[in-house]
Amino acid sequence: MNGNKTQKLNYMKHKSKFLLFAIFTLLYGSASAFCGFYVAQAGASVFNNKSEVIIVRDGTKQTITMLNDFKGDLKKFAMVIPVPVVLKRNDIRVMEQSLFGTFDNYSAPRMVEYFDQNPCQKWDYESDMYENLKASSRSSMEDKASSVYKREKVTIEAQYTVEEYEIVILSATESGGLEEWLKSNGYAIPENANEVLQPYIKDKMKFFAVKINLEKARQMNRQYLRPIQITFNTPKFMLPIRLGMANSNGEQDLIIYCFTKTGRVEAANYRTIEIPSAKKIPTFVQQNFVQFYKDVFDKNYEKEGKNAVFVEYAWNVSPNWGVKCDPCTGNPPIVQDLINAGVGWIDAQQSYTGNVFFTRLHVRYSREKFPEDLTFIETPNNATYQVRQIITHPATGDFQCKEGITYLQDLRTRRRLELQEMQAMAGWDSDEYPFYVELGDGTKVPVEKEDGQNRNSFPVWFHGNGAPPSWLLPVFLLIAASTIYLIRKWKWRNPISTELR
Amino acid sequence: MQEITLPQTDARWYQIGFQSAFLLFGTLVLGWQQEWWRLVLIIATCLSVQVFFIWRGLQNLQSFRSALITALGLCLLLRTSEWWVLVLAGAVAISSKFFIKINGKHIFNPANIGIVAAIFFTGKAWISPGQWGSDTLYPISILIAGFIVCYKVKRAQTGFIFLGILFALEFAKRYLFLGWPMDLVLHRFSSGSLLVYALFMITDPMTTPNHKLARMVWATILALLTFILSARYQIYEAPVWALFLLSPFTPLFDKLFQANKFEWKQNTKVKLYETQK
């Protein structure tokens, strides 16, 4: 368990103590006014081998902030990213890691808890849970005069020192030369990077190569990598993931935090799918929600054929917009966070009245299943969404009334359903938790209430394992064709026979 | 000798059948999250506008099949979160058939102009080209179903020339020039939205040129236009815009290449020779 995770779990425990205290002032089920407490979350830190990216898109202007989970010796860190243009010095910044923490905490999959009311008692409850907090500071930047020279069909278009990073922007006419240049300058390039570099070179892309300036890093006492931010103009709304897969058949996780003016961002060349949300799961999942979400994600990843992009959060987070999550797992990003991320269309005076739409996407990609770089669409879809699972604590006290007995019966039924839901979502074996249905962790109760969500939707079939059953498409088409064919035959017979008669 | 009439299946029934199958599959299996009332709203709008024109005596009763095809096309491609955008798209689509005409032939493919109107004028609609995902069975099934429908209305060349040329261009650019591996090219072409669009929308016999040769030239230009819009201008809904831009020139093709206008065949006349007794 890493540090972050421990912290989150500690926080969770602390929170649940408070909630135990709060039990007696809660009224069950006023879902329209208040949707429960946030009690746990599964943030980006849960996934190994992952990177995080913030993309801000405003017309053709794009700001990308990249956070790498590089864990080795800083000396060995090197990163090469294809970019469409030669970046100017002012287009490169070094940000603080806390920026990612803010967005991650805020948009992470979450769990909420409800409390049943004892049917033999009555209370009232009201709450407001929105708070605001601190800004992260923007880092300053220094530079070094850029120089241009030629070697091995590689042109150094620009060279900067930005804080602890040494940055070189290269263009090349031939991949062999570029590979050689990178290798001789200390960039560890995978063996078969050549075949991936070549298409980018042909596409007139430039290469943004980053290394650590060890001396600066030592002076600044840096023990970890800070995110690098670049801004440029491009009609292509895409993220080059192919280079990172050059030498790897493994799976990598990528969390993308997108900010746009209009609405949700979705992938143009892969399916974009929402993770199941608003599901009622057993109360004991609270103790291990991090693992639970990880298993839910793994299961969905498998189910969708390992080549889908998942939405984990979508909401307007504009400073003047009221509710930004329900419930919130962290402090909402404040204006300064958004500006730091590159949201250039708002200002500190908060005079901007339009949208700042936040979409969190989660991709687990591999060479085999993601042959093409990710391209995106900025849609006008403003529908809000968050991954939010629900636990419902049973009521406490004495159930010596008619309703109380019914309640206890209903509770058992509900808990059986919760276990089934847990098994369907995360693959946890429900048979391992027989005590739960026997009301093993309390002597309490709730009655199921309709959640109200998705009531108008078609049910989506086949929640089992594996990819969606694609064989059903030819079956559907065959049924359609044969129905029409049979009707035709039937129509044929009648008119002829009548006319011949 | 006696002449009798053999009723032929209107190809539109196959198109309606296949498009319904796509919609059913997308909604139930792929979880497109279309709420049922949205689909009902689009279909109801299209049919009622069509009924209005039938009532005004501008169309025969059979034409409701075309309206249903248009409605299903909109259901398959258009995404929006506003109900009124759906109504607008459906109304524009169907009424364009009656208002935008040259020489008795409507100019724009109804579903196409409906989508363009929704995206361009409201800014509240979009297309999800990635909604099918990639699976080898999808392109195969769509191609076969598309071929059946196109073949029946003698428009198979239009759809397949369009796809063939677009594929050749993508292949030349991505595989031959840029040097990406072949699976990338195939991935780009396994998009269900593109295939459904190519075989079920642009092949509409009423809005393609009447002459066979003209249609081949027309499909080639359409493919080039689509390629340029997507490769040069990064427009993800390039096929929609390409068809919209090319449609006004269809009458020109009809003028240059003379041929009879397409009519939906209801029946085939068959001559029966009486046998001598």
Residues A317-344: tens digit of each pLDDT: 887 776 666 667 667 777 888 888 888 8
CA distance A327 to chain B (A): 23
- Give yes or no for residue A441 having a pLDDT over 80: no
User: What are the φ/ψ torsions at residue B138 (nearest 5 degrees)?
Assistant: -65, -55
| Chain B residues with CB-CB distance to A483 below 8 A | 17
Mean pLDDT, chain A, integer: 74
> What is the per-residue pLDDT for A22?
25
Q: What is the ipTM of this complex?
A: 0.86
Using CB atoms, pick whichever of B22, B81, B179 lies closest to residue A199: B179
The count of other CB atoms within 10 Å of the CB of residue A75 is 11
Q: Which residue has the higher pLDDT, B81 or B242?
A: B242
> What is the per-residue pLDDT for A17?
29
Domain-wise residue ranges, chain A: 3-392, 469-501
Interface contact A492, partner B, CB < 8 A: yes
Confidence band of A247 (pLDDT split at 50, 70, 90): low
Residues B114-131: tens digit of each pLDDT: 999 999 999 899 998 888
Rounded to 5, what percent of chain A is helix, strand, coil?
A: 30, 25, 45
Interface contact A464, partner B, CB < 8 A: no
Amino acid at A175: S
Among candidate residues B258, B236, B234, B210, the one with its CA nearest the CA of residue B105: B210
Residue whose pair of structure tokens reads 């291990």 in the numeric block: A288
Distance CA A415, CA A423 (A): 12
- Give yes or no for residue B67 having a pLDDT over 70: yes
Domain-wise residue ranges, chain B: 9-256
Among candidate residues A122, A459, A65, the one with its CA nearest the CA of residue A276: A459
Most confident segment among A328-332, A345-349, A377-381, B58-62: A377-381
Confidence band of A352 (pLDDT split at 50, 70, 90): low
- Say whether B130 and A272 touch across the interface (CB within 8 A): yes
Distance CA B208, CA B219 (A): 9
Residues 208-227 of chain A with CB under 8 A from chain B are: none
Using CB atoms, pick whichever of A202, A274, A372 lies closest to residue B179: A202
Contact between A437 and A409 under an 8 Å Cβ cutoff? The reply is no
- Say whether B25 and A491 touch across the interface (CB within 8 A): no
Distance CA A170, CA A412 (A): 65
Lowest mean pLDDT among A300-304, A331-335, B266-270: B266-270
Distance CA A293, CA A279 (A): 12
Distance CA A495, CA A479 (A): 25
Distance CA B121, CA B115 (A): 10
Phi-psi map region of B254: left, alpha, beta (phi>0 left; psi -120 to 50 alpha): alpha
The count of other CB atoms within 10 Å of the CB of residue A60 is 12
- Say whether B36 and A458 touch across the interface (CB within 8 A): yes
Average pLDDT over residues A361-369: 90
- Say whether B17 and A481 touch across the interface (CB within 8 A): yes
- Tokens found for residue A336: 């300064």
Q: By CA distance, what is B124's nearest residue in A?
A: A380
Helix boundaries (H) for chain B = 11-28, 36-55, 64-77, 83-99, 110-117, 137-152, 156-170, 182-189, 192-200, 212-233, 238-246, 250-256
Contact between A162 and A142 under an 8 Å Cβ cutoff? The reply is yes
Using CB atoms, pick whichever of B33, B129, B131 lies closest to residue A457: B33
> What is the per-residue pLDDT for A499?
41
| Chain B residues with CB-CB distance to A314 below 8 A | none
Average pLDDT over residues A417-441: 84
Average pLDDT over residues B70-76: 93
Sheet strand arrangement including A374-378: A238-239, A374-378, A265-267
